[in-house]
Structure 1
Amino acid sequence: MTSPIKRIDGVTLSDKRVLMRADLNLPVQDGLVSDWTRLERCTPTIRHIIDRGGQVVLLSHFGRPAGQYDPQLSFKELLPQIRDKLALSCELLDHRGELPLASLNAQQEIADVLLVDNTRFFSGETTGDQTLSRAIAELGDCFCLDAFSVSHRNHTTVTGLASFLPSFAGFSLADELDALNATLATIGRPCVAIVGGAKVSTKIDVLRNLIPKTDTLIVGGGMANTFLKAIGYEIGSSLVEDDQLSTAREIMQFADSFDCALVLPTDVATHHTFASTDKALVCDIKDVGESAMILDFGPTSMASIKGIVSSAKTLLWNGPLGAFEIIPFEIASVEVAKFVANRCASGELKAVAGGGDTLALLAKAGVSDDFTFCSTGGGAFLEWLEGKKLPGLSILSTVS
């Protein structure tokens, strides 16, 4: 459970410029946004501010430009799509990572929403730089955090602005905390976790923290390849972290010590390249060819996961089982998602999913509204489950 936070309800917004930290790190394919969930979640807060006479100065990162301007990671190309989705007047503050911002801000036309270009173009964004915090704070009168997905980051536009401006939570953030607290007040057993992702190295702490809390941990995505190679399987040309093989073996031993079953695929769907195909080869994990690339769980593994889920009371899901972005390697993830949704509908299972890729997967499967709750957070969602204090929430804790 988290401490009470200050909320947007009751805040006077008339004639205020509200710096609003959202998460517009949206998935894009062929220049088009493929999933609008994160923007849709924060839209009620945007409209609330405008309806009450305020103007929104929208802040967000996009990708990982590492403190340097990258035109491919600018919101400039996405602005027409964002504007259409919001159905509001929206202008871009094109700062190129340079200060001061006040003069640039003065050049902008009056609009309902002023979208500050990628905050990670600023070299001090990810370090919580106070000079940058002060410069951005000059753009507004108050600060609203409405992105649970970044609340675990001690970044300038997450925690730094609260040092200079009155601060509160938007509807999306507040509602998400309420739902997580209500859903996970008690975790029913057996508890199953599905954790996917490209690299083991990015999920080591997550795996270590989930193992003592779960009965079964299903490892998917590219990270499963590292575990498979660590126990001696040939994985062809599949994505793998050779420097994490010993870590994978340690994690498996750690799971054994807690009697947590760590599940890997026993059959897989492969292709010779990372691309869509109508000729995927399904084979036993012992028969992966030298040039084959593992891209999804096979039908036997998929059936095994359904069997595990069929007896579970709680399921936590972060990350797809396979390369769901390309056909036909979405099959296992989509079919398991539908199975989970059906069990939720029958009242037999409490399922909580989190993370951008996971939300996109559930949208693709058409079951986004059928899970018990879908969190916008990836790392924040998992750190919250671990009981860690999230910096973005700490700054909003109620004060007298």
Structure 2
Amino acid sequence: MELLNIKECDIANKKVFIRCDFNVPMDDYNNITDDRRIRSALATINYCLDQKCAIILGSHFGRPKDGVKDEKYSLSPVARRLHQLLKLDIQLAEDVVGESAMKLSSELKGGEILLLENLRFEKGETKNDAEFSRALASMVDIYINDAFGVSHRAHASVEGITQFFDKEHKAAGFLLQKEIQFFGVLLERPVRPFAAIVGGSKVSGKLEALINLLPKVDKILIGGGMAFTFLKALGYDVGKSLVEDDLIPEAIKVMEEARRLGVKFYLPVDVVAAEKFAPDSMSRLVSAQEIPEGWMGLDIGPATVRLYRQVLADVQTILWNGPMGVYEMERFARGSNKIAHFVADSYATTVVGGGDTADLVQRVGLDEEITFISTGGGASLELLEGKVLPGVKALLK
């Protein structure tokens, strides 16, 4: 997929709208706990500053009620962090396309930056409303999408706005290009052997990705809650573990297809089981075939960790999407943490597919050791499913 490139776009001295993804995690005191998404946008912002552009930045943050302005979801902490990172004044509009934004945008000069308030404070954003898209587009000469994390959503600032710019006046930013190129190479021309580690709670969330990955990989390693649907499909008694019974036929099909294609398919051989889903629950280590009645598996066990390390020892490319257990609870995070350390220490090209897995890798302080961490969980998953994202489709050459 070849995208319209910001470097091929004449942006010098123009007014530019950059759609960023500043949906960053915050603590209870409104402090940003991980600014990776903000730092990821700096390359595109700095390039536009070098071209003497007047820059308008737009992003959503959290999930405010549709069209309701809520101080809790204000982008003011993001404006402060941008000011610290860029060493420039960042003007924050009080609204998105209202009086404040329109006045400030009309007065904006080259080298200045205006951050619009949370795009989701406008009802038209998530509804991909044409009038709202037109109002956003009317502020600028050039549109740049650098928000990979929301490019799977057909929202006004991602897809609708692109209808109001011809191909000479819209482009992908550096982050969006990097994400699309990385996943393109990973799925079309990976260095082999290529292994995918797929975890998370439900098979339903990863089924299409698994089906699309099967012809492309040499090995698949399954973990997390989704493993129990596969284990039950093999006839194991998995107690009260999370199982999607309606997807057992699909799980059988996936395993049969893996066998047909010669893809090695690995499931946990032991698990940490607990009486209930709680951090203080009584737990014990059991084989995957011997989960006590009424108990649930919440993490992979040490034998599985050893097996998976052995399986990954000779691979050249590792894609990891989804944790191996309930990593948010310390007692059930050991399997995920051990796999994270092994992936980080590997000489293979290692790619982490955003969302929970990126959060997990950051928690254990290994984010600098991974070759590439995607900034988008849902977006990276849809790419793995073989879909063309709406925000990307609008910028294809």
- Sort the TM-score into its range (normalised by shorter chain): 0.7 to 0.9
Cα shift readout 1:53-77 (whole Å, capped 9, x = no counterpart): 4343322234455745384972357
Aligned residue in 2 for 1:323: 326
Establish whether residue 313 from structure 1 lines up as the match of residue 316 from structure 2.
yes
How far did 1:113 drift? 4.3
Q: SS state of the match for residue 197, structure 2? A: strand
Task: Answer yes or no: is the 8 Å Cα contact 1:317–1:353 preserved in 2.
Answer: yes
Q: Is the 8 A contact 2:4 2:170 kept in 1?
A: no
Deviation at 1:32, TM superposition (A): 4.6
Give the aligned partner of residue 353 of structure 2.
354
Alignment partner, residue 105 of structure 1: 101
Report what 2:254 is aligned to: 251
Q: Indicate the residue corresponding to 2:156 in structure 1.
A: 156
CA contact (8 A) 2:61 2:75 kept: no
The answer to whether the Cα contact below 8 Å between 2:18 and 2:146 also exists between their aligned partners in 1 is yes
Label 1:9 to 1:301 Cα distance change in 2 as closer, same or farther (>3 A).
same
| Structure-2 separation of matches of 1:83 and 1:217 | 40
RMSD, aligned α-carbons = 3.4
Cα separation, partners in 2 of 1:369 and 1:251, compared to 1, 3 Å:
same
C-alpha contact (below 8 Å) 1:206/1:383 kept by paired residues: yes
Q: State how far apart, in whole Å, the 2-side matches of 1:231 and 1:73 are.
A: 47
The percentage of aligned residue pairs carrying the same residue is: 37
Q: Can you list the C-alpha shifts for 1:241-275, whole angstroms capped at 9, x where unaligned?
A: 34434433333333333333332222122445555
Does the 8 Å CA contact 1:65/1:120 hold for their aligned counterparts?
Answer: yes
Q: Deviations over 1:151-178 (max 9, x none)?
A: 3333322122122242122222233444
- 1:291: Cα distance to partner? 5.2
Q: Is the partner of 1:286 in helix, strand or coil? A: coil
Say whether 1:265 aligns with 2:263.
no
CA pair 68-105 structure 1, distance change in 2 beyond 3 A: closer
Answer whether contact 1:193 1:217 (CA < 8 A) is retained.
yes
> Which residue in 2 is equivalent to 1:129?
129
Residue 377 of structure 1 corresponds to 376
Assess, with a 3 A threshold, how the Cα gap between structure 1 residues 225 and 126 changes in structure 2: closer, same or farther: farther
* Equivalent position SS for 1:222: coil
Measured against aligned partners, the alpha-carbon deviations of 1:333-355 in whole angstroms (never above 9, x if no partner) come to: 222222223222xxxx2322221
The one of 19, 26, 34 equivalent to 1:21 is: 19
Q: Deviations over 1:191-245 (max 9, x none)?
A: 2111222322222211111112222222222322333344444445544434434
Residue 203 of structure 1 aligns to a residue whose secondary structure is helix
Q: Does structure 2 conserve the Cα–Cα contact (< 8 Å) formed by 1:8 and 1:144?
A: no
- Offset, 1:94: 5.0
Q: Distance in 2 between matches of 1:66 and 1:264?
A: 41
Specify the SS of the correspondent of 2:195: strand
How far apart in 2 are the matches of 1:64 and 1:247?
33
Mapping of residues 143-292 of structure 1, within 5 Å: 143-165=143-165, 166-180=169-183, 186-272=189-275, 274-276=277-279, 280-290=283-293, 292=295
In structure 1, runs of 5+ residues without a counterpart are none
| Aligned residue in 2 for 1:368 | 367
Q: Could you tell me how far apart the structure 2 residues matched to 1:40 and 1:297 are?
A: 34
Letter in 2 for 1:366: G
1:226·1:241 contact (CA, 8 Å) conserved in 2?
Answer: yes
Contact (CA 8 Å) 1:73, 1:118: kept in 2 or not? Answer: no
Match of 1:7 in 2: 6
The amino acid that maps onto 1:135 is A
Aligned to 1:303: 306
Q: Kindly state the Cα deviation for residue 122 of structure 1 after the two structures are TM-superposed.
A: 4.2
Alignment of 1:83-122 (within 5 A): 83=82, 86=85, 88-90=88-90, 92-93=92-93, 95=95, 101-106=97-102, 113-122=113-122
Moved more, 140-149 or 101-110: 101-110
Q: Report how far residue 306 of structure 1 moved.
A: 0.6
Quickly say closer, same or farther: Cα 1:383–1:79, change in 2 above 3 A. Answer: closer
CA drift of 1:183 comes to 5.9
Structure 2, unpaired ranges of 5+: none
Distance (Å, rounded) in 2 between the aligned partners of 1:251 and 1:7:
40
Give the distance between the partners of 1:138 and 1:22, measured in 2 at CA: 18
| CA distance in structure 1 between the partners assigned to 2:185 and 2:246 by the alignment | 40
In structure 2, the CA distance between the partners of 1:27 and 1:230, relative to structure 1 (3 Å rule), is farther
> What's the offset of the Cα at 1:38?
1.7
CA–CA distance in 2 between the matches of 1:263 and 1:65? 41
Mapped partners of 1:254, 1:185: distance in 2: 20
Deviates more, 1:306-315 or 1:125-134: 125-134
Check whether the contact 1:8–1:171 (CA below 8 A) recurs between aligned residues.
no
Structure 1 129/80 Cα, relative in aligned 2: closer, same or farther at 3 Å? closer
Larger mean Cα displacement after TM superposition, 177-186 or 368-377: 177-186
**Superposition TM-score, scaled by structure 1 size:** 0.81
